[in-house]
Amino acid sequence: MAKPTINDIAHLAGVSKKTVSRVINRSPLLNEETRERVEKVIRDTGYVPNPQARALALRRNFLVGLVHDNPSAQTVLNVQQGILGALRDTEFEMVVRPVDRGSSTMLTDIRDFISRQRPFGVILLPPISENDQLAELCQELGCRYVRMGSAQIDTPDHMVASNDRQAVMEATRYLIAQGHRRIGLISGPHGFRSARERRQGFEEALSEAGIKLPRSLIADGNYTFESGIAATQSLLDVSPRPTAIFASNDDMAAGVLLAARQRGLSVPEQLSIVGFDDQPLAARLWPPLTTVHWPMKAMGRSAALKLIGDMIDENEDIEEPSMFVSTLVKRGSVAPPEA
Amino acid sequence: MAKPTINDIAHLAGVSKKTVSRVINRSPLLNEETRERVEKVIRDTGYVPNPQARALALRRNFLVGLVHDNPSAQTVLNVQQGILGALRDTEFEMVVRPVDRGSSTMLTDIRDFISRQRPFGVILLPPISENDQLAELCQELGCRYVRMGSAQIDTPDHMVASNDRQAVMEATRYLIAQGHRRIGLISGPHGFRSARERRQGFEEALSEAGIKLPRSLIADGNYTFESGIAATQSLLDVSPRPTAIFASNDDMAAGVLLAARQRGLSVPEQLSIVGFDDQPLAARLWPPLTTVHWPMKAMGRSAALKLIGDMIDENEDIEEPSMFVSTLVKRGSVAPPEA
DNA sequence: TTGTATGCGTTATCAA
DNA sequence: TTGATAACGCATACAA
């Protein structure tokens, strides 16, 4: 049989379409036996409402857009899992929209996407989430949005943030507590808010301990494995060389590990390493990487709930948190410096 | 201004809706100046057709479903990139649908998804793509589908496969050519077609070289890092111990590396390792992992094009390949065995 | 080459 | 508590 429509159900149940519609939408003003009769027909026929038709009539659809520019594979996936967990058992679907932040047409591309699909809302991943023009664009187009990122750069209803600065401060304090004084930093790319926050957390922890950080112990990275290798090479050329390195993400930390090995330095005995992200990779390296856990899955879930919360919450008073704390995961890549 | 509709455009251009519709759908029978006049209005107003309305009228929508059960983060992401590349500049969007293959309701869940959303088509990832009941379900529901996997288990129009067996044969031949005779295998989970194909490729290469494989050199894994460690421990207990190990995926190969290190074995001098997948992880390990490149991105692209090809091809004669070859990537984890 | 009438499956309005 | 009728925005059949 062809797919039944609301008309078929109405006919079979001997009621009007509107009544069927009321049953579907759990309208309170409905005779109980009418409801049961209609529900039986729905069950028997396996009828499901057509989302496209609903979208047209309601003038809103059930798509949540995930707009991103490949922060890192694992990050994207964690966020997706979080979002999909929140969307589970709702009528919402997640559509993924990758963009190219290097392209001059990025804003136009996103504008086209939003004005074409008119998604119920969009979730913006870092680093493009840091782009204020993008947020303004969403406002202008009347599209709900939630930004994810490493600092509170929007109002709580539009933002799910991690406190990267605080987390890196704690990680750095841990290195200091282990006895390290010469600690190198590999920063993230210029212009990334996450890079700035992590760097500031690092610097604050040092200054709080009264440690002066020579400029030579700060190396530029761009979040790639290769940049981690290159940055480490320059850091290890400094004399006296650092006894520990904080890399602003795990991929770069993996590069540190490789570069250290190439120099014949043993980790953690001769060089301690701390990363950021807590990707699966971190636990697979040797020694396993001490790193900051970035709760992107939980944040993705929260972002999605912020977006659709109003539509599904029976009890609307559940307020999604807009700030998440990252925690240090201690594994094997940190030890006290050699005498 | 509210979003303009086809009616507004028709009105502004002084034509009927149908004419506007013809312009949108590039109907050939249209007066050139009429077309230009309408197109100008469309440009000026920034009009874009409503996909939901189109979907309703056309009785088909523009959603491509990606149904999977988390093979591995990187695999999912590679496939997504491939699909999204193919969908780029089309009116199609990708919706992601994770399911739980362990759950008894998996088929029901997917049935609900398909009959509710009525996606234009679905792409099924391994391992659930190997489930024939799932393919039958798609047929029954009249939903286009393409299965991805490690062997040709459906007709070419429904299948994008990699030739895992062939690829593993070549990888194993490479180990043999290096002089290895005692080679251990860590298999994938029972019931996975990819596991079977890879194992068979391994066994065929050995038998072709006249090498008899003792049962003790085959260890069961389940594609996780941890299972790679456990399997390696049992393999290295065999006496004489193997000089090389083929792990059926990279995560397990990373486990081999770790377990070897725990035993104090140097890689590749005392133990050679070959993996499968060519995840980014493979290049970040030390030594970098020799592994089989699994072209999931290209396969995802091909799967998407197979699905929507008819709708977008100007020249319909481009036949998407249904078989992809995986190639061996030689890095540092293989060397001749010690004397 | 263009327009009219009608349908797609749902919800909203307003009256019964 | 229910139903008739009109949207929603677009496409198709059939005329003109």
As a whole number of angstroms, the distance between CA A273 and CA A288 comes to 10
Q: Do A95 and B98 touch (CB under 8 A)?
A: no
Q: Position A146: which residue type?
A: V
Among chain A residues, the shortest Cα distance to B78 is held by: A73
A73 touches chain B (CB under 8 A): yes
Among chain A residues, the shortest Cα distance to B93 is held by: A95
Residues of B in contact with A283 (CB under 8 A): 225
B225 touches chain A (CB under 8 A): yes
Per the prediction, chain A carries an average pLDDT of 93
Give the model's pLDDT for residue B315: 53
Cβ A135 vs Cβ A154: under 8 Å: yes
- Once rounded to an integer, what is the mean pLDDT over residues A178-194? 97
- DSSP-derived secondary structure for A104-138: TTHHHHHHHHHHHH--SEEEE-TTGGG-HHHHHHH
Strand C interface, protein residues by Cβ within 7 Å = A 3, 5-7, 17-18, 21, 24-25, 48-50, 53-54, 56-58; B 14-19, 22, 29-31, 34-35, 53, 56-57, 59
Task: Measure A204 CA to nearest chain B CA, in Å.
Answer: 31
Give the model's pLDDT for residue A314: 58
Residues of B in contact with A46 (CB under 8 A): 115
Give, in Å, how far the C1' of D8 lies from the CA of A58: 8
Which stretches of chain A are assigned E, i.e. beta strand? Answer: 63-68, 93-98, 121-124, 144-149, 159-162, 183-187, 218-220, 244-247, 272-277, 290-293, 323-324, 327-329
Q: Position A276: which residue type?
A: F
Nearest to B117 among A51, A77, A97 (CB): A51
Q: Please tell me which residue lies nearest to nucleotide D2, judged from CA to C1'.
A: A19
- Once rounded to an integer, what is the mean pLDDT over residues B36-47? 89
- Once rounded to an integer, what is the mean pLDDT over residues A89-109? 93
Per-residue pLDDT reduced to its tens digit, A130-161: 999 999 999 999 999 999 999 999 999 999 99
Name the closest nucleotide to B16, judged by C1' and CA. C3
Q: Position A168: which residue type?
A: V
Of the pLDDT bands very low, low, confident and very high (cuts 50, 70, 90), residue B158 is: very high
Among chain A residues, the shortest Cα distance to B255 is held by: A284
In this structure, is the CB of residue B17 within 7 Å of any atom belonging to strand D?
Answer: yes
> Which B residues in the span 184-203 are in contact with A, Cβ-Cβ below 8 Å?
none
Of the pLDDT bands very low, low, confident and very high (cuts 50, 70, 90), residue B30 is: confident
- Once rounded to an integer, what is the mean pLDDT over residues A73-80? 92
Give, in Å, how far the C1' of D2 lies from the CA of A19: 7
- Once rounded to an integer, what is the mean pLDDT over residues A194-219? 97
Please report which helix (H) or strand (E) contains residue A204, including its range.
helix A193-208
Q: Do B52 and A73 touch (CB under 8 A)?
A: no
Among chain B residues, the shortest Cα distance to A94 is held by: B95
- Structure tokens belonging to residue B12: 């502004």
Task: Measure B258 CA to nearest chain A CA, in Å.
Answer: 7
B262 touches chain A (CB under 8 A): no
Please report which helix (H) or strand (E) contains residue A330, including its range.
none
- Structure tokens belonging to residue A87: 């969307």
Nearest to A281 among B51, B84, B284 (CB): B284
Which of A96, A112, A291 is most worth mutating to test chain B (most B CB atoms within 10 A of its CB)?
A: A96
Per-residue pLDDT reduced to its tens digit, B103-141: 999 999 999 999 999 999 999 999 999 999 999 999 999
Q: Do B284 and A283 touch (CB under 8 A)?
A: no
0.95 surpassed by pTM: no
Per-residue pLDDT reduced to its tens digit, B273-291: 999 999 999 999 999 999 9
Share of chain A above pLDDT 70, in %: 98
- Structure tokens belonging to residue A149: 């990122």
Residues of B in contact with A81 (CB under 8 A): 98
